[in-house]
């Protein structure tokens, strides 16, 4: 699920609407400023009775339904194309498919760092893609060995892509099943 | 190297989902009125029924409860709209983009505690930058807290600004 910029705006607008509705009901019940007594529903009734109103309501229903559907579906992550351009001259160009690199990086990290269950995902950056590796730590490891392994992986990526077309980020999560690993691993 | 910290999903995105469902509910409300008025479906328009309710001098208990719930939900929406997404991982210094989750730090610290001499059981708890360690010591072995702090500090080199405190309890025989 992706985080959307519209979520904050939409949440703020809906929050204000709901607060206003709640305040109106409270005013109706407790009569704080006498606004409800002056409320004239005649104009609203006339509008609802008018011939055009059902059409407007139908159109509003369609617009709202489309908005709601878009707001729901826009957060589904879109597959990211693997190609990243390394260089081009005249009519020649070189692209690299980052999808082919990710498995190697996963293997590298799993082999060199005290971690298991490495997964990867790619995100777009300014001039290429970021490969984010995520792994579960072995509780017997230490931060220094994690850092050494991460520096190795980072260095190999930096050596291959000095201009930063492909970068790597490593996130270490909690052990998957604490204390239930059967075979000890030596690093 | 300037890095953007990995973050959790912001609260606004859950409220965004809820908002989409609310919008869909509004769409059904408006659509039902249109369909009833055009004679496509039988029944009474919900919009007309709610307009009729508005003429009552005071709201029913249900409406009052609904109003209070709406106000609270609205407050929740407003708060979620401004609360920033929380950091999910802590940085480790070095020539790499490496981040460790607080739970992983706790697991490593607990393991380091349990491996220092005379400790039966260790548990870590990381809140913000404070790592609290609870250690259960074997009775009569003279295990000391400084050794535990050293062991944990040695495990977590590179994690800057971590404040480690150890609470040791001697187990009963």
End-to-end, the C-alpha distance of chain B in Å comes to 53
Ranges of residues in chain A whose predicted pLDDT is under 50: none
The whole-number pLDDT of residue B145 equals: 85
Which tokens belong to A121? Answer: 């995902």
Q: Which residues of chain B have pLDDT under 50?
A: 1
User: Could you say which of A4, A143, A173 has the minimum Cβ distance to residue B92?
Assistant: A143
Q: CB–CB of B97 and A44 under 8 A?
A: no
pLDDT at A186: 61
* Dist. CA A57–CA A159, nearest whole Å: 61
pLDDT at position A184:
57
CA triplet B70, B76, B79: central angle to 5 degrees?
Answer: 140
This model's pTM is above 0.90: no
The pLDDT assigned to A126 comes to 85
What is the C-alpha to C-alpha distance for residues B160 and B99, in angstroms, rounded to an integer? 12
Q: How far is A161 from chain B (nearest CA, A)?
A: 14
Cβ(A10)–Cβ(A71) below 8 Å: yes
CB A7 to CB B10 under 8 A? yes
Q: Could you tell me which chain B residue has the CA closest to the CA of A152?
A: B96
Sign of the dihedral through C-alpha A54, A55, A56, A57? positive
First to last CA, chain A: 36
Q: Read off the tokens for A40.
A: 């004239």
Q: What is the pLDDT of residue B108?
A: 92
Tell me whether residues B92 and A167 touch, CB distance under 8 A: no
The predicted pLDDT at position A84 comes to 87
pLDDT at residue B51, rounded to an integer = 85
Rounded Cα distance between A127 and A104, Å, is 21
Which residue blocks in A31-97 are alpha helix, DSSP H? 35-38, 42-49, 53-73
Tens of pLDDT, residue by residue over A35-71, are 777 777 788 888 888 889 999 999 999 999 999 999 9
Q: CB of A135 within 8 A of CB of B146?
A: no
Chains A, B: CB contacts within 8 A come to 245
């Amino acid at each position: 699920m992706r985080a959307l910029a519209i979520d904050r705006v939409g949440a703020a607008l809906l929050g204000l609407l709901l607060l206003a509705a709640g305040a109106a009901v409270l005013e109706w019940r407790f009569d704080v400023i006498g606004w409800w007594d002056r409320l004239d529903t005649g104009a609203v009734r006339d509008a609802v009775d008018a011939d055009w109103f059902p059409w407007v309501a139908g159109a509003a229903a369609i617009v709202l339904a489309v908005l709601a559907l878009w707001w729901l579906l826009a957060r589904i992550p879109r597959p990211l194309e693997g190609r990243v351009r390394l260089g081009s001259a005249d009519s020649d160009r070189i692209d690299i498919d980052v999808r082919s690199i990710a498995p190697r990086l996963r293997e590298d990290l799993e082999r060199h760092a005290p971690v298991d269950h490495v997964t990867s995902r790619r995100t777009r950056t300014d001039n290429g893609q970021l490969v984010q590796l995520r792994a579960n730590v072995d509780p017997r490891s230490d931060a220094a060995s994690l850092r050494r392994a991460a520096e190795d992986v980072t260095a190999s990526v930096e050596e291959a892509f000095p201009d930063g077309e492909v970068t790597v980020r490593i996130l270490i999560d909690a052990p998957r099943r604490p204390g239930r690993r059967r075979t000890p691993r030596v690093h | 190297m300037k890095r953007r910290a990995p973050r959790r999903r912001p609260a606004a995105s859950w409220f965004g989902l809820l908002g989409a469902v609310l919008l869909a509910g509004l769409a059904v409300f408006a659509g039902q009125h249109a369909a009833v008025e055009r004679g496509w479906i039988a029944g009474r328009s919900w919009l007309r029924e709610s307009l009729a309710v508005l003429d009552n001098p005071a709201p029913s208990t249900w409406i009052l409860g609904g109003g209070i719930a709406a106000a609270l939900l609205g407050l929740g929406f407003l708060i979620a709209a401004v609360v920033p997404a929380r950091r999910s991982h802590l940085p480790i210094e070095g020539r790499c983009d490496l981040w460790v989750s607080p739970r992983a730090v706790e697991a490593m610290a607990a393991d380091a505690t349990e491996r220092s001499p005379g400790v039966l059981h260790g548990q870590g708890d990381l809140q913000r930058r404070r790592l609290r360690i609870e250690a259960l010591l074997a009775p009569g072995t003279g295990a000391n807290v400084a050794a535990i702090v050293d062991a944990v500090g040695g495990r977590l080199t590179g994690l800057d600004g971590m404040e480690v405190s150890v609470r040791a309890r001697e187990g009963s025989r």
